[in-house]
Amino acid sequence: MISDTSRRSRPRIAVVGTVGIPANYGGFETLVENLTLHAAKHGLPCDVEVYCTATAYPSRPERHNGARLLYLPIKANGVWSVPYDILSLLWASWRRSDAILVLGVSGAIALPIVKLLSRAKLVVNIDGLEWKRAKWAPAPAAFLRWCEKVAVRFGDVIVADNQGIVDHVSQSYGRDAVDIAYGGDHASAASTLPAADMLGGDYALMLCRIEPENNVEMILEAFADVPGRRLVAVGNWSNSEHGRQLHKRFGNTPNITLSDPIYEAGALYRVRSCCSQYIHGHSAGGTNPSLVEMMSLGTPVLAFDCVYNRYTTEGKAAYFTDKKGLAQLLGEPVRSACGAEMAEIAMRRYTWDEIGRRYFELLLD
């Protein structure tokens, strides 16, 4: 009997660990969207299969960007991410995938089984030290840290999106990791329409999920103390008690505009392209997609001072550690040269052609 693998002339690459594509959720989904575009654009000699949650795609297209889409009837987020990722990995093994790109560590408990069932090369992106996020209680944080340990132990190649996480893998587990970040150049190509100031006048922009480790409260307090500077803050305010409390507290502050999430590419492009500064409060998670996207637009960046943001911006942004420090930066003139430096770094390090090339070199090796 001729095996499925021997009959195929092209390697089969599975991608697991995301909601799926078309991308409309977060950083990993945007990564997969652009990886499949890269494979199609360059005619790479492989068949890409992306595992998706059926609950997010009522129409369930069979293909997108040339990649085959396979659906599981399980949610991909929260506690459901663990069985979702496990089943995706087992299905990819059953389908005799030649390489599996694993995004995140939620399903890492299945990697030892995959090693027994499959000869697939396991390329694991361990994400941004998820277990460190303040939103997790001790038990789930401990579980995620254990998953990270299993992922590093059983992955054939470990990918980290920031040098700070590469250092963590080396120091904690004695393994090398490959540093591959995210592309951001799609942000500038999101609209062919001319930029139009939809919000009236000069403003700084904050764009993030409303979570404690993103220092949203610190940023809002700083702007409240500097009434001469305007902030447009875009986020999922209604998704948590933390967000609802902040919205109640700052929703009527004259120089602060709180906006719900913006997903439509053209509208998001307009809000981004018209701001004078980007305020980045993330303190965990490695290289953040929204940061490299704003860098690609040549926007001056004020970032929370942590190792991840320093690596991403090569130490050339302006940095703050507390409300007082941010308020002091807000009182200074906007340094346009910072935007030019951010754009130069982005074009050198954060283009999807470069990110796609590096991922497929690993997957097709």
Please give the Cα distance from 100 to 2 (Å, whole number).
Answer: 22
Q: What is the CB-side half-sphere exposure of residue 170 using CA atoms within 13 A?
A: 11
Whole-angstrom CA distances from 109 to 102, 114, 207, 314 are: 12, 10, 33, 35
What's the pLDDT score for residue 190?
A: 56
Sequence-separated (6 or more) residues with CB below 8 Å from residue 66: 36, 39, 40, 48
What's the pLDDT score for residue 260?
A: 93
- State the virtual CA torsion across 341, 343, 344, 348 in degrees, nearest 10: 140
Helix (H, G, I), strand (E, B) or coil at 212: helix
Residue burial 136-166, b: 16+ Cβ < 10 Å; e: rest: eeeeebebbbebbbbbbebbebbbbbbbbbb
pLDDT, mean over the chain = 91
- With beta carbons less than 8 A apart as the criterion, state whether 105 and 142 touch: no
- State the virtual CA torsion across 112, 176, 144, 128 in degrees, nearest 10: -140
Residue burial 190-216, b: 16+ Cβ < 10 Å; e: rest: bbeeeeeeebeeebbbbbbbbbebbbb
Whole-angstrom CA distances from 84 to 59, 281, 298 are: 20, 30, 38
Nearest to 120 by CA among 144, 104, 141, 101: 101
Nearest to 240 by CA among 128, 129, 78, 106: 78
Q: For helices 27-41 and 289-296, what crossing angle results, to 10°?
A: 60
Please give the Cα distance from 36 to 333 (Å, whole number).
Answer: 42
Please give the Cα distance from 340 to 96 (Å, whole number).
Answer: 47
- With beta carbons less than 8 A apart as the criterion, state whether 287 and 312 touch: yes
How many of the other CB atoms lie within 10 Å of CB of 224?
17
Please give the Cα distance from 146 to 17 (Å, whole number).
Answer: 17
Q: Within the chain, which residues score under 50 in pLDDT?
A: 1-3, 5-6, 194-196
DSSP 8-state code for residue 135: T
Please state the pTM of the whole predicted model: 0.88
Please give the Cα distance from 288 to 181 (Å, whole number).
Answer: 9
What are the residue ranges of helices labelled H in 100-137? Answer: 111-117
How many of the other CB atoms lie within 10 Å of CB of 63?
11
Longest dimension (CA), the chain: 75
Structure tokens, 66:
């040339």
Site of tokens 């997957």: 363
Helix (H, G, I), strand (E, B) or coil at 183: coil
DSSP 8-state code for residue 213: G
